[in-house]
Amino acid sequence: EGYSLKALRLRPRELLGLVALGRVGAALGGAFVGEVEGLLERLVGDGERKVPAVAVRMAEVELGEVARTVLSTLQEGERVSRRVRFRYVDKRGVVSERVAEPYGFVVSLGRVYLVAKDVERHAIRTFAVDSVTEARLEPNVFSKPADFDLETFAGSSIAGVLHDGEPVEVTVLFAPRVAKAAAQARVVRERRVRHLSDGTCEIAFRVTSVDELVRWVLGWGEEAEIVAPPAARERAGALAEAVAARYRGP
């Protein structure tokens, strides 16, 4: 059996967007890559026009059999608004049992994260799906807060998953040679861009994890400098010094 769709007439930009979306799906990997590619060929590869050349480079998501089973259970919990219980191993190797109310999922840097309310801790947390085991549905149902927006939640973190506290504004000055690239790098949702007369670019980022932004800024090398607030500037200096110490000779 199959499904029938009416004929589509796609404008060039719509076609490009569709192909780019398909490339994103392919880059993420998974069991349906072949189906996505086949669908694109059937939609746009009719012999009269060729599929636009679009390459998308992303960290491929690779989930083992256990993680795929866990993800399926967590997705079911989110779909039917039921709590889930699971064992979780955090980044320090500490194992704990959690009961959570699934709000949604974030795919970032090759990993899938569950965004959920931790019932015992009364707070929204993110859990790496590949660090979850023994996931099962609980009989308890829940209602997601009407004002919760997954895009907004993920938008204040570069990776979409790090949340240390209340949002903080961090201002970064980028050198002329990287100003354009920095302005186009929409790493967080809330930011203000100001192009200065000397060719530099000043960007104020609103983030929930200062450390995460500091590490990202250091990736620009000497072409970027945190100018405010003082605490973020000091943190960047300390981290840069620690990295430099690793490369100094004995």
- The C-alpha atoms of residue 169 and residue 87 are separated, in whole angstroms, by 35
Q: What is the DSSP string of 8-69?
A: ----HHHHHHHHHHHHHHHHH-STTHHHHHHHHHHHH-SSSSPPP------PPP---HHHHH
List the chain domain ranges. 10-57, 65-148, 168-247
Task: Tell me whether strands 82-89 and 95-108 are parallel, antiparallel or unpaired.
Answer: antiparallel
- Topology of domain 168-247 in CATH is Alpha-Beta Plaits (3.30.70)
Q: What's residue 105's pLDDT?
A: 87
The pTM of this model reads 0.65
Q: What's residue 135's pLDDT?
A: 94
Averages of pLDDT over each 10 residues, the chain, 250 residues: 55 65 59 57 57 57 83 92 94 91 84 90 89 94 90 75 78 96 88 95 92 92 95 95 86
Tell me if the domain spanning 65-148 has CATH number 2.40.160: no
